[in-house]
Structure 1
Amino acid sequence: MGFVSLHDLAKKGRKSPGKGNMPIPAVAVTQAYYESREACILTVRISPEGMDSARLKKGDKVDVQYDPENNFWRVKLSVGGKGYAISGTAKSETGVVRFTHYEGMPLIAERQARKVRAFADEQTIQYGAGEVTFSLLQPEQDDSED
């Protein structure tokens, strides 16, 4: 008899085409709009390699900064413990910074776009002690279900 795992089949079926073997980007920014709360949430994900290169760890407080003139973003270790905490799941070393968008903050797409994701341009990423600076590639609409 040759049993086939239904769990494995379901797992393969859930993957989006072309994403199975795609390398993990160093930094990704997701923007999601929640109509029920009229809130826009931005999420910055930093790969484990990016976290190591920037010498960041979960629990660190960081400031997310934007340079509108050059269209660069920066996640920088906060001085004095103010800022957003880097979080993440126990099973993953990926760092996650999540915050609500307020007037005056930059967006990667129009405010009421349901879900949009942009990856860092690998050619522009710069690491320093306690910081990572990057520009984003063209944002993509994310049609996957939550």
Structure 2
Amino acid sequence: MSSSLRLEKITADNVEAACRLKVRPDQDGLVKPVAWSLAQAYATPDTAWPRLILDGEQLVGFVMAFFDVRFYPDDPNDNRLRSGLWRLNIAADQQGRGYGRFAVEAVCEEIRRRGQTRATVSWVPGEHGPEQFYFKLGFRLTGETSGDQVVGELELGEA
């Protein structure tokens, strides 16, 4: 993994490249395309934190985080505010090189910077899904679900 990794805001200059980013075909039903995520980010600008993952000048992935959101807004008994990963798309030919780990760690650092001590993520379980990836990073299942996805959390420690 390169030392020139960074997250970059989506701009008019890079949005087309972002929308062309594709995951492996066997992952298509497991994560929404970047264009879908950017539409959600546009519709929820106070919640969404979309970023490109760059290695030098090469686009290798996309990550979108959320901060201080009620995960289950329709549940009057659940007032917990959560922060975490909303989307993670690593380009098909760039997977397995540490870019996903970098993105998750960068999001966790941003969560800590904002004063939170826990990161949340949800994913579609399945053969080609990211479950083992998140487990290797320390996420544990909460026993909750969000639609057709399972929910995991990672304790970050003190902010």
For the superposition of Structure 1 and Structure 2, which TM-score range results when normalised by the shorter chain?
under 0.3
Give the alignment's TM-score, normalised by structure 2.
Answer: 0.25
Give the alignment's TM-score, normalised by structure 1.
Answer: 0.27
Q: Which has the higher contact order (CA 8 A, sep 6+)?
A: 1
Q: Which structure is larger by alpha-carbon Rg, 1 or 2?
A: 1
